[in-house]
Chains A and B, each alone.
Chain A
Amino acid sequence: MTTIESYKTKSGVGVSAQRPDAVPKATGKFSFSSDLSSHNMLWGQTLRSPLPSARIKSIDFSEALAISGVHAILTANDVPGKNLFGLEHPDQPVLADDLIRYAGEPIALVAAEHPEIAANAINAIHVTFEELTPLTDAESAITADPIHPEGNVIRHLKIDHGDPSVTGDLVIEGTYEVGMQDQAFMGTESGMAVPSPDGSVDLYISTQWLHSDQNQIIEALDLPEDMVRLTLAGVGGAFGGREDVSMHVHLCMLALHTGRPVKMIYDRNESFLGHVHRHPAKIWYRHHATEDGQIVKVEGKIILDGGAYASTTSAALANACCFSTGPYRVPNAQIEGWGVRTNNPPCGAMRGFGNVQTCFAIEAQMDKVAKALGIDPVELRLINALEQGDTIITGQKITGAAPVKEVISSLADHPMPGPAENNLLARPGGTGRTTDQKHIKRGVGFAVSIKNLMFAEGFDDSSEALCQVEDGNVAIHTACVEVGQGFITLIHQIAEEVLGTSDITIIPADTSIGSAGSTSASRQTWMSGGAVLKACEAVVVKLIEQIFEDEGVKYENFNGTLVSEDGTKTIPVSEALKGRSFHEKIVHRHAPTFPLNNKGQGDAHVSFAFAAHRAVVDVDQELGLVRIIEIATSQDVGRILNPLQAVGQIEGGITQGLGLAVLEELVMKNGVIQNANFTDYLLPTALDTPPIEIAALIEEPEPGAPFGAKGIGEPPTISSTPAVVAAIRDATGIDLRRVPVRPEDIALE
């Protein structure tokens, strides 16, 4: 494990401050959304379709309603407002009213005195279906009969950059596939809705974006904004899977209908059915390179399977296409992407968002180009690495920090690990004792990634923060959702940086303040961090004004200490605040972005972060078993605000990346998930997770970003996957074109 030493002695930004919820979470004292309870509370449950494509002929819930202790059974007819919701646009029924478009689609809701009674009632609801043939192949969906009134193509995006007639000395073609990964967050979906006598409702929920939820709920409930109030409940991880509405409207409907608080907890099986997954992808590339290794043109076709409803498919496709050529200078590109509807489960946001799929394919292509030209793969990447001032294939110039070469070189220079421990447990197969030393081949793989930070394509992206001082006591309020990433620690650190005290109160995130935007897209440090910074600074400005009015002395703030203009007087801000009150609320925005034009050109993105990963693997080729020995990384971070949390993000992100490389996949059969449980959806265990070596964290401050810090949560997940697969290819010589790599993909080759 990497050890982190504070490189600053002072507190505030830059130190490894411990997160305030660390000990409560480790000792089981933290209250998660599943711990919510209320006097007189009912339990909600959801009836879901077992079929991926069907017409509902009838729903008979008379038997279920007759069960003692059952208080409500609601169907599509009971949705008070529009029976539609959706993160980007509303296209998904709150409850299926006619057509079933995926296996797991909610049909009816139950509220009962006890979860067991609710479950009995669910079993007693009789739905008659007319079974239809599901559309499960994404490629055929482009031209197949529409499964939704809006058609099957959610978005078709073309990027036409440079001269299409250019060809290279070397042409390399490849087709790749990415399986369906799941966020598999630790705490399943849970929440509680509490109705008020005035017909309004309070929803306590684990989510990623309170205000987006609220906007969707009010449409479905047909209530004004102030009648639906959301408060964040303790979140047990998210990774994109909580960005979409799940039980939110259901809970509010049941609570308003019964007049009693209603709580829901999905079990693990329902959780897999109840949230979106990472888009499976089919990707084709043709790379053109000169003999000396310059990539001169890339042609690509990308198909993302969005499943039955749109969710964030449109934005994920934009990411997949805009960054389809990787962190490389590519003067000419013709890219065509489709995000399509099928009767597979809906897919949407997951850490790395669209970049993960194309990075896997592009990095495989780069290795093939390197091999064909006889150039070292690291050297090929250095030859083509983007730099500040370069233009990406959307025609956007990179104006911020782009230390791609530094990231690559520092990682390439990092020492290699030695041989694995000489015991069965340390080899491929682990506890299965399958592999002796003589069966092992070692391989090394290298991959680099680019990730856009924050929302794109002209979205009005903002975050609001309040810094409130009452008689010297400081409180900070945002609607920024803490999903485990550590923003609450940053609030303390930022406040301390400006106000000289970390003794502050954090007001729970809710919808009584303006939107903070989503905790996704590596954006909260920049957006809500920026908002908190500005709000605190606004308080200090007001404080200095007040002191000037009171004393006639002008002060300036130096890291939490006020110094008089003549330098003779100093007073800590925290001291000066005593006995005073302020209320400074500000909205923070990043620089505007713009839509892509019909050639896929435009300044659609705010900022870019880069990372490189090097994986070392031991492979038992005969059995197809892989043991990852080490993953080393260098990452472009702008500036590190909390080294401990930075490393936590990197270790966690890499683990999720290696999960996609060799383990994690929702196995589909005719539109139905075959492994919606932790017995068979295989997350990496401690034995599967190698030491993670941080070769370098490149601190080149990002212009416009608070403290110069770039978001760091997503890049670790993106290029770790292709690095692992490259290492397996290196060990085995097999052209692996699909992730996750399964034992049979190696052993039967």
Chain B
Amino acid sequence: MIMEVLIASSTEEICELLEQDSSRQLLAGGTDFMVEVNYRHRSPSSVITIDQVPELQNWHHDGDSVVVGSCVTYREIERGPLATLVPALAQAARTVGSPQIRNAGTIGGNIGTASPAGDMIPVLSALGAVISLRSSEGKREVSLEDLIVGVKQTSLRRGEFIESVRVPVLDSPQEFLKVGSRSAMVISVTSLAFITYPKTRSVGIGLGAVNPIPTRAKEAEVFIADFLDWETMQVDPSGIDHFKDLVSAASSPIDDHRSVAAYRRKSIGILAQRALTRVFTEGVL
């Protein structure tokens, strides 16, 4: 079988190539894609490599937010200025695979693969990330929740690709915690992102690997707001148990070869509690 490989050098070129044939598949870091090709789970006849497109490789600070090109690697997110601007994203990037994988894998790939265990997903969800999509028809912006519609399923239209991700720069505490059986290089059993929004005096909680689609623990977010003191950064301990339960209740995990649902449900609540009490010290308000 012959596989055509087209090397795109600009976003316009990607648009054109996809317009000619929307069945062409995009290759960025290849850390998921190539495994599937090598195991013949995927046999594309035409591939467009997008990892050498400058617009997709860059990120920029734009007022209150950063715009991260879809081909920015975990390695770049993990350290350097991005790690200071969006610490939870950096913490999550550090947990992805090995250094070799992090040098190749990209944030756009993590979103496009749409795995429930994708490590960027809970952070982007909790940050309310806006995803810029591009095609020959033009641009549109969607939320992560609107983009990822099922296990490994996206609402990307024909000829459309992920151009960039916009996340807020908050300059306030953020936490990402992930459970795996191994100390590194492990697929998430559960993970959780905890983002503070001092301006609105609210928190964002993104859940990883416990639902088919990106999920915020909305009830828990609303509930705990009443127990937080943003001046002293304290949390009233009387709210913690119910908060934990609400987070667990927002999960609908499965049994699989990596863990069991009961453990996932329990651990996601524990991660929430730990993130909360790392940011807010316990004290009666």
Chain A residues engaging chain B, CB cutoff 8 angstroms: 116, 119-120, 123, 267, 269, 429-434, 436, 439, 622-625, 627, 662-663, 667, 669, 674-675, 679-680, 682, 684-685, 687-688, 742-744, 747-748
Interface pair B257/A748, CB less than 8 Å apart: no
Pick the residue among B94, B184, B187, B274 that contacts A434 (CB under 8 A). B274
Residues of A within 8 A of B180 (CB): 432
Q: Is the CB of A662 within 8 A of B181?
A: yes
24 A–B pairs (Cβ distance < 8 Å), ordered by A:
A429-B178, A431-B184, A432-B95, A433-B177, A434-B271, A436-B278, A623-B179, A623-B270, A674-B256, A680-B258, A682-B186, A685-B182, A685-B184, A687-B183, A688-B183, A688-B184, A742-B181, A742-B259, A743-B181, A743-B263, A744-B263, A747-B267, A748-B260, A748-B263
Known: A123-B40, A433-B178. 15 other contacts (CB 8 A): A269-B39, A429-B178, A432-B177, A432-B191, A433-B91, A433-B175, A439-B274, A669-B257, A674-B256, A682-B182, A682-B186, A685-B182, A743-B259, A744-B262, A747-B263
For residue A339, give the distance in angstroms from its CB to the closest CB of chain B: 26
Instruction: Say yes or no for B225: interface residue by CB 8 A criterion.
Output: no
Report the Cα distance A169→B83, complex, angstroms: 63
Contact indicator A682/B181 (Cβ below 8 Å) = yes
Chain A neighbourhood of B179, CB < 8 A: 429, 432, 434, 623, 625, 743
B110-138 vs A: 1/0 string, CB under 8 Å? Answer: 00000000000000000000000000000
Q: How far is the CA of A484 from the CA of B221 in the complex (A)?
A: 55
Instruction: Give the CA-CA distance A684 to B182 in the complex, in Å.
Output: 7
Select B185's contact among A123, A667, A685, A747, beta carbons within 8 Å.
Answer: A685
CB-defined contacts of B271 to chain A, threshold 8 Å: 434
Of chain B, the residue at the smallest CB distance from A434 is: B177
Q: Which residue of B lies closest to A425 (CB)?
A: B183
Please give me the 4 A-B residue pairs with the lowest Cβ-Cβ distance, nearest first: A430-B183, A674-B257, A744-B263, A432-B178
**B-chain residues with CB within 8 Å of residue A622 when the two chains form the complex:** 270
Q: Contacts A432-B177, A436-B274: A685 and B183 contacting too (C-beta < 8 A)?
A: yes
* Residues of B with C-beta under 8 A to A623: 179, 267, 270
Interface centre among B177, B191, B274 (most CB of A within 10 A): B274
**Complex alpha-carbon distance, A685 and B91, angstroms:** 19
Contacts of B258 in A (CB 8 A): 680
Give the residues from 26 to 79 in chain B that come closer than 8 angstroms, CB to CB, to chain A: 38-40
Q: Which B residues lie within 8 Å of A625 (CB)? A: 179
Task: Give the residue name and chain of the B residue nearest to A674 (CB).
Answer: B257
Q: Compute how far the CA of A267 lies from the CA of B189 in the bound complex, rounded to whole angstroms.
A: 26
Q: Least Cβ distance of B1 to chain A in Å?
A: 7
Q: Which residues of the partner chain B approach A429 to less than 8 Å between Cβ atoms?
A: 177-179, 183
Residues on the A chain within 8 Å of B161, using CB: none
B85-126 vs A, Cβ < 8 Å mask (1 yes, 0 no): 000000100110000000000000000000000000000000
Please tell me if B176 contacts chain A, counting CB pairs below 8 Å. Answer: yes
Nearest neighbor of A669 in chain B, beta-carbon distance: B257
Q: CB of B266 within 8 A of chain A?
A: yes
The answer to whether A747 and B266 have CB atoms under 8 Å apart is: yes
* Those of B117-176 within 8 Å (CB) of chain A: 175-176
A680 touches B177 (CB 8 A): no
Chain B residues contacting A269 (CB-CB under 8 Å) are: 39
Knowing A436-B274, A680-B258, the reply to whether A431 touches B39 (Cβ < 8 A) is no
Give the chain A neighbours of B257 by CB distance below 8 A. 667, 669, 674-675, 680
For the complex, would chain A's binding face be called helix, strand, loop or mixed by DSSP majority?
Answer: loop
Q: Is the CB of B260 within 8 A of A744?
A: yes
Inter-chain CA distance A623–B266, complex, in Å, is: 8
In contact, A687 and B1 (Cβ under 8 angstroms): no
Give bound CA distance, A625 to B184, whole Å. Answer: 13
A622–B91 Cα gap in the complex (Å)?
A: 22
Contact (Cβ within 8 A) B91 A663: no
Indicate if the CB atoms of B177 and A267 lie closer than 8 Å. Answer: no
* Most central of B1, B39, B184, B256 by chain A CB within 10 Å: B184
Docked pose: A282 CA to B76 CA in angstroms: 48
A548 to B263, CA, bound (A): 80
Which of chain A's residues has its CB closest to B256's CB?
A674
Alpha-carbon distance A687/B98, docked complex (angstroms): 12
Q: Which residues of A contact B274 (CB under 8 A)?
A: 434, 436, 439
A559 to chain B, nearest CB (A): 48
Identify B187's interface contact among A267, A433, A680, A688, CB under 8 A. Answer: A680
**If the complex has contacts A120-B1, A669-B257, A744-B259, are A663 and B267 also in contact, measured as CB distance less than 8 A?**
no
B195-232 near A? 1/0 per residue, CB < 8 Å: 00000000000000000000000000000000000000
**Residue of chain B at shortest CB distance from A117:** B1
Which residues from chain B contact A627 at a C-beta distance below 8 Å? 183
Q: With both chains docked as a complex, state the minimum distance between the C-beta of A598 and any C-beta of chain B, in angstroms.
A: 43
| Best-buried of B177, B181, B189, B256 by chain A (most CB within 10 Å) | B181
Give the Cβ gap from A279 to chain B, nearest Cβ, in Å: 20
Docked pose: A155 CA to B182 CA in angstroms: 37
A626 to chain B, nearest CB (A): 9
Q: Which of A119, A624, A679, A684 makes the CB contact (< 8 A) with B263?
A: A624
With A and B bound together, what is the CA distance between A120 and B2 in angstroms?
12
Question: What is the bound-complex CA distance between A743 and B39, given in angstroms?
Answer: 30
Contacts of B189 in A (CB 8 A): 743
**Measured between alpha carbons, how far is A674 from B274 in the docked complex, in Å?**
32
User: How far is A232 from B22 in the complex, measured between Cα atoms in Å?
Assistant: 50
In the complex, the chain B residue whose C-beta lies closest to that of A625 is B179
CB–CB A431/B95 < 8 A: yes
Chain B residue numbers with a CB within 8 Å of A747 are 263, 266-267
B142 → A minimal CB distance (Å): 29
Chain A residue with minimal CB distance to B192? A434
**In whole Å, how far is A139's beta carbon from the nearest beta carbon of chain B?**
23
CB of B267 within 8 A of CB of A679, answer no
Kindly provide the distance from the CB of B269 to the nearest chain A CB, expressed in whole angstroms: 10
- Min CB distance B85 to A, Å, is 18
Q: Verify A687–B184 contact, CB threshold 8 A.
A: yes
Q: Mark B241-279, 1 if CB is under 8 A from A, else 0.
A: 000000000000000111110110011001100100010
Docked pose: A655 CA to B70 CA in angstroms: 38
- Kindly name the residue among B91, B176, B186, B278 whose own CB sees the greatest number of chain A CB atoms within 10 A: B186
Give the CA-CA distance A119 to B186 in the complex, in Å: 29
Choose from A439, A663, A687 the contact partner of B181 (Cβ within 8 Å): A663
Residues of chain B contacted by A667 (CB below 8 angstroms): 257
Residues of A within 8 A of B175 (CB): 433
Contacts of A434 in B (CB 8 A): 177-179, 271, 274
Task: Look across to chain A and name the residue whose beta carbon is closest to the beta carbon of B188.
Answer: A432
Which of B95, B191, B267 lies at the interface centre, i.e. has the most chain A CB atoms within 10 A of its CB? B267
Task: Provide the residues of chain B in CB contact with A669, threshold 8 Å.
Answer: 257
Question: For B95, what are the chain A residues with a Cβ–Cβ distance below 8 Å?
Answer: 431-432
Q: Complex: how many Å from CA A432 to CA B117?
A: 13
Q: How far is the CA of A680 from the CA of B181 in the complex (A)?
A: 10
Q: Do A748 and B91 touch (CB < 8 A)?
A: no
Q: A691 to chain B: closest CB distance in Å? A: 14
B2–chain A nearest beta-carbon distance, Å: 10
A433-B176 CB under 8 A given contacts A680-B187, A687-B183: yes
| A267 contact set on B, CB distance < 8 A | 38-39
A123 to B175, CA, bound (A): 46
Residues of A within 8 A of B39 (CB): 267, 269
- Across the interface, name the chain B residue whose C-beta is closest to A627: B183
